[in-house]
Structure formats: structure tokens, C-alpha cells
Amino acid sequence: MTVPLAPEQTPEPALEAVSAPSLESAPGSAAEPAPTAPGPVPAPFVCSRPHRVAVVAARPVSMFNLGICEMLFSKVEVDGGPGYEVQLCTAEPGTVATSGGAGIVIGGGLDVVAWADTVIVAGTGARMDVDPRVLTALRAAARDGKRIASICTGAFALAEAGLLDGRRATTYWAYTEELAGRYPEVALEPDVLFVQDGQVLTASGYAAGIDLCLHLIRTDYGAAVANTVARLALVAPVRHGGQAQFTDTPLPAESGSSLAGTRAWAMTRLDQPLTLADLARHAAVSVRTLSRRFHAETGLSPLQWLLHQRLERARELLETTTLPVDQVARASGLGTADSLRAHLTRRVGLTPSDYRATFTRLPVT
């Protein structure tokens, strides 16, 4: 069953889960492909009230999924006030069983879904038996043009409701074969952190829910706000949805061969030319070893990671300062205004000037 978008709803662009060639990677470095998100970036949330988020708990629900939504969205402040209002809801308000065996009291019913701007379905252990009342609420939300997302096995509820038919989607890697077998109409992408296809987003398991929430915050309020929330929550900055869910090799111990120190060193030098040799020299390893360990720890090559961090720095500067575009390019390590324009347009579909006009956090003078 396919549920159509509301007629007045303009779908948000899909977040690509593949790599595309980049024009240049970093000053002094060889060109290298980097993940991109082509197409126009959705406009930020503009309203006199906080953005309303309903988190649907289908029993037995994942407490972790519920917790990360509250933790991250509650840390968003815009112009001195809260950026989000979050309410938990369930088909039968009261004590809701969790996947860990505990119970959590949820007072909101599914009428909260109609109240919300964004609806997030938390992971559940009931993949085979989604409450029909939840399905009805999700279909109504889709017809109303609401943004709908799932974390982990919450994707099964979206698929059962018909919201993923013909759409790109993902779920926790351990359940991808099950989802593909039960819902062949879904264009499953099993190895990514999260996917956005129009107004519908799906995330894989556990920490990928954090990445999804940060992506939603960045979409609504910009990179500077999302990165501030990440720092407050002591989690990694926004990662691309196209990063792999897991790596084939175990991560090295932080006290041993981790490259966290080298990444921190590079973050303080984004405005300077940095090559693979520079990074390898700081890490006291060969370039080959650097590249292998870097990919194991981050899911990206060193140059892809550098480009991502430089673009994040440029976006923050565009949002929070009045620096001319050429100065933003130099301060973020992208070299020239033309280079910044090319990379930013490829990544989010907006020129630097358009991005600043859309996401600026500076008061209007």
C-alpha cells in the first residue's frame, strides 16, 4: 500500500548514500571523491513556536531511541528559546514495556501525531506485529505532509504502513534481509547510517539515531546549531548518512593506535594546507597505514574527512559571521570563493550567498 504525499507538500531532496567526484579535496592534496548530497537543501523551520516532534513508542520500545530524541532536541536553543517541543506517544497511554524488560510511563496518545510537525518512530521488538492504530496514525501523518522518520526497527512500521514503497530506506544491519524479504517494494540500502527520500527518513540502529537527529536539527536550524548540540551532548559532529553502518575490522583501542589525536590536531589547522604526508607524519605512521586506520575509525578516507570538516567550518562561518565569502573560504581551508562555491553547491545545492541568506543566525539590521 502506497500512501501519497500531501498535494501541497514539496518533497525534500534525497540524501545520497553514494560518493561522487569532488572538484578538489584540500589545499596541497590530490583530488579524491567525497560523499555528497546534491539538490537544494530544505528551507529551515520558520515559525513563531518551537518545532513539534512526536516520538512514537510501539511496545516493546527501545529506551535508547526514546532517550536520544529527548537528549538532542532538548538542547536546541534558538534566539534564547527552545527550538523543539518533544512529546512521547503510544497507542495505549500508560506503562509501556521496553525491549530491555523495564516499563516506562508515557502519557501521550496517538493524537500527538496530528499535533506534530515531525514524527519519529522509535525502534521496537514488535517487527512482525505493528499496532494497526500506529499504522493509521502514520498514514494520516503522511497525507498531511508531515516529516516522518524511523530509528532502527521503526522502519518496519513505516514499511507496513506503505510509507516506504518505492523509497530508499535503511534499518539496522541485522534486520536488513528480513525487511527486504517482507517488503520487496522498498529500495533498501543496507550499509548506510541513514537515508532521506523526500519527506521520509530512516536510520539504522543505535548511534545512527543520533546522526539522524543531528541531521534533522541541521536541516531545521543550520550547521552551527547542530554542531553546538553535538558538542553539548558529547557526541561526534554530524556524519554523512552514506557512511557505512559498521566496519569489517575492529576499531583500534583509543590508548593504542587510534588517530583521534591526529584528527583533533587537524581540526585546529583546517585553514592550512594539509596533505596525507602531513597527517601521517603527525600520527607517526605511513601514509598507507594512515589511510587504512582512518577509514576503519571514521568510514571516510583522510581527504574525504578533511573536506567534510572544512565544509562544516565554512557553513558555520556563513551562518554566524558576516565575513566575505572569500574570507570564509580561506578560513575554512577551501582556498578560494570559487572552490567554496563549487563544493557547497555540490554538497547542499546552494551557493554560499544563498546558504547564508537561508540559514543565517545573525539579527536582521
What is the set of active-site residues? 152
Beta bridge partner(s), residue 35: 19
CA distance 276 to 295: 13
Write out the E strands in the chain: 19-20, 34-35, 51-56, 77-78, 81-82, 84-89, 94-97, 103-106, 118-121, 147-151, 168-169, 187-188, 194-197, 200-203
* The total number of residues written for the chain in this structure: 365
The SS3 of residue 223 is: helix
The closest alpha carbon to 96, from 113, 86, 108, belongs to 108
Cβ-Cβ contacts under 8 Å for 81 (sequence gap 6 or more):
50
Residue 71: name the closest of 238, 232, 239, 240 by CA. 232
Residues 6+ away with beta carbon under 8 Å from 103? 95, 96, 97
Bridge partners (DSSP) of residue 196 are 15, 201
Alpha carbons 204 and 189: distance in angstroms, whole number = 10
Q: How far apart are CA 263 and CA 246, in angstroms?
A: 20
CB atoms within 10 A of CB 194: 30
Q: Report yes or no: 151 and 122 within 8 Å, Cβ to Cβ.
A: yes
H runs (alpha helix) in 53-153: 63-73, 111-115, 132-143
Residues 38 and 12: their CA atoms lie apart, in Å, by 11
| Structure-block grid coordinates of residue 210 | 543520533
What would the grid cell of residue 105 be? Answer: 510511563
Q: Maximum Cα–Cα distance for the chain, whole Å? A: 60
